[in-house]
Structure 1
Amino acid sequence: MQAATAMQKPKSIGSIQFLPVNLFASVMGISGLSLAWREANKVFGASTVIADVTGMIAIAIFIALSIGYLAKWVNYSQKVKAEFKHPIIGNFFGTITIAILLLSSVIGVYSTRFGQVIWIIGTVSALALCFVFVTRLLNGNHEPVNKVPASLVPVVGTLDISVAGGSMPFPWAHEVNLLSLAIGGVIALVYFTLIFSRLIHHAPMPAGLTPSMIIMIAPFEVGFLGYTNFEQRIDQFASILFYFGLFLFLVLFFKVFKKTIPFGASWWGVSFPMAALSNAALKYALFADSWPLIALSGIILAVFSLVVVVLFVRTLKLLVNGELLRG
């Protein structure tokens, strides 16, 4: 009888009220993977099939998450407001704007006009969100321990405007891209200093936030991509951005990728910075035309691809087991 009763009650996957906003980082990572494999076509002559498939997956996940989070907003608006006002969780709302900007590049391959529309939406959203978070920062009375690497996410979103919009044909796009580089570059430097100070002078971050340390490379690698897209060339300043981001990644890699750190949705925080690093490495290798850099870009792409596959599979497992949407 007990077995029959158990069979009549299928296991619940959880409640939409517990849908974490940082899951939008999965769209960022998978979109970045799609763009990286498209860049790999130029460097290695790789097929664009992987780029096409991962791009479609990123679009599908974004649509599903958007529907889910809108449902959460409608039914549990107080939870969404609390998350947005939270000094740490609130930063992950920047993953939505960055996801939109990256998807504009993914979709732009198939429909230039549609990609441009999405870029405009992402640009307005990213600038508005950055304004809110900088205003919030200047209100004062912040706890230093709350300045974690995730604080960079809303700022990096402005840098992504020029990453996705470097080739936009609009007459005003040049100034908007310059504006985004100015805001993102200077504010990222301020936030990076605050975060570095917190990591040095305060207790280590909780295990759940440790994976997000990789986000610290984002201002440099995304900055490299945005700056080179804007300038349409790679100069010594761009090279400095790339190489420092690469060095910082090697330092943080051994601090983050440990078996002792439990898996959760926060692990997707490693995917987007690695996507930026992979795309930057491929672009730099194509520019330098040096076999060590070409080999390095291939290794980074392979590691990044493996990380995304593992994250995807383990996240699906959490969802099916009912652990992902559990309070």
Structure 2
Amino acid sequence: MKTAVPPATTLSAAQTVETARLAYLPVALFGSVMGLTGLTVAWRGAHALFGAPLWLSSVPGLLALLAFVVMAGAYLIKAVTGFEHVRAEFQHPIAGNLFGTPLISLMLIAILLVDLDRDLARVVWSVGAAGMMVFAWAMVSRWISVRQKPAHATPAWIVPVVGLIDLPLALPALGWADELHGLMVFALAVGLFFAIPLFTMIMSRLLFEEPLPDALQPSLLILVAPFSVGFSAYIATTGTVDGFATALYMLALFVLAVLLGRLRNLAACCPFRVSWWAVSFPLAASTNAALKYAAFVHHPVANAIALILLALSTVVIVALALRTVWGIARGELRALSS
């Protein structure tokens, strides 16, 4: 067995080139695109269920597309001017898992593009889906080929799995649910299967190892994603809310309640970093699951939970966006990326 690779921050002086630009930019910032897209879909669901103004979904949708273009351009500059930083980030036992975020973003923004140009949306989704399957294969191969340390088992390890579970979400809107039903089942099965041991290993690390560093605390909310995204992907694949789907949703609510209790004092104990965007997509995914469940059961309690989560995810994501833009305007992006 080979030993785990060193952290991405251990680049030697010889590897660091003066021409590198935006070397500090983390690939995890694509999580902002995921969160904004999830919020867009949530407000569309609120429009269908509660009659909320449809324009409320347009604002985060436009921001999601803009954020993706800006992030893709910025990370391309980083890759062209200092590829060794990209390679080191990919080889990092924790940060490397977050290379799934741009691929997930592609699959999600296809939902936003389908009303503008369905053919373009299908191309964008296809690139993201193909990349995600290759990436998931590469990461699972790494896990079983390279000796890992217990401290490396962090919520970021969920991302390659969640990426596969995200694969079915856009297919009904793209008109491919029937043609690619087998692929939907494949992605859902692999994603949910690997979510079980990964969740167990991460819980074990949280219980028996040192607490996560402050910068990684927001990533705890990623642990909700296998259940909330799994619920939405399951009903997209099967077309029904059965007992298994309901169990996934109830698990999502329980895990979310536990983790929100852990993170309620985050702003007081930890300075803001772009890593805080890790909370955005799990919150939005939980909101979407709650809206879908409420639409199925038509119960006041389910409606109330959906509305509470919609308000919470909206406030949190708007606050993250405003704080990020303010930090960039003040020239703090390097510090916020540390």
Does the 8 A contact of 2:21 with 2:78 survive in 1?
A: no
1:308 positional shift: 0.4
1:274 partnered with 2:274: no
Unaligned runs of 5+ in 1: 1-13
Counterpart among 61, 73, 87 of residue 81 in structure 1: 87
Match of 2:139 in 1: 133
Match of 1:47 in 2: 53
1:111 positional shift: 2.3
| 1:1-327 alignment runs, 5 A limit | 15-170=21-176, 172-258=179-265, 259-326=268-335
TM-score by length of 2: 0.90
SS at match of 1:16: coil
Q: Which AA in structure 2 matches 1:173?
A: L
Does the 8 A contact of 2:228 with 2:249 survive in 1?
A: yes
Query: What is the RMSD of the two structures over their aligned residues, measured on CA atoms?
Result: 1.4
SS at match of 1:162: coil
Unaligned runs of 5+ in 2: 1-19
| Alpha-carbon distance change, 57 to 76 in structure 1, aligned in 2, over 3 angstroms | same
* Counterparts of 2:276 and 2:143, CA distance in 1: 26
1:185 positional shift: 0.9
1:282 positional shift: 0.4
SS at match of 1:19: coil
Equivalenced residue count is 314
Does the 8 A contact of 2:21 with 2:82 survive in 1?
A: no
Q: Which AA in structure 2 matches 1:197?
A: S
Q: For 1:56-109, what per-residue CA distance to the aligned partner results, in whole angstroms no more than 9, with x for missing partners?
A: 110011001101101100101000000000011111111111111110111113
Q: Which has the higher contact order (CA 8 A, sep 6+)?
A: 1
Moved more, 212-221 or 139-148: 139-148
TM-score by length of 1: 0.93
* Counterparts of 1:55 and 1:46, CA distance in 2: 16
Does the 8 A contact of 1:166 with 1:177 survive in 2?
A: no
Q: Which AA in structure 1 matches 2:70?
A: A
* Counterparts of 1:250 and 1:305, CA distance in 2: 17
Does the 8 A contact of 1:166 with 1:226 survive in 2?
A: no
* Counterparts of 1:42 and 1:261, CA distance in 2: 38
SS at match of 2:40: helix
* Counterparts of 2:29 and 2:150, CA distance in 1: 25
Moved more, 277-286 or 183-192: 183-192
* Counterparts of 1:98 and 1:315, CA distance in 2: 21
SS at match of 1:325: helix
Q: For 1:149-173, what per-residue CA distance to the aligned partner results, in whole angstroms no more than 9, with x for missing partners?
A: 0110111000000122245444641
Q: For 1:285-305, what per-residue CA distance to the aligned partner results, in whole angstroms no more than 9, with x for missing partners?
A: 010000111111011000100
1:249 positional shift: 0.5
SS at match of 1:196: helix
* Counterparts of 2:327 and 2:316, CA distance in 1: 16
Match of 2:9 in 1: none
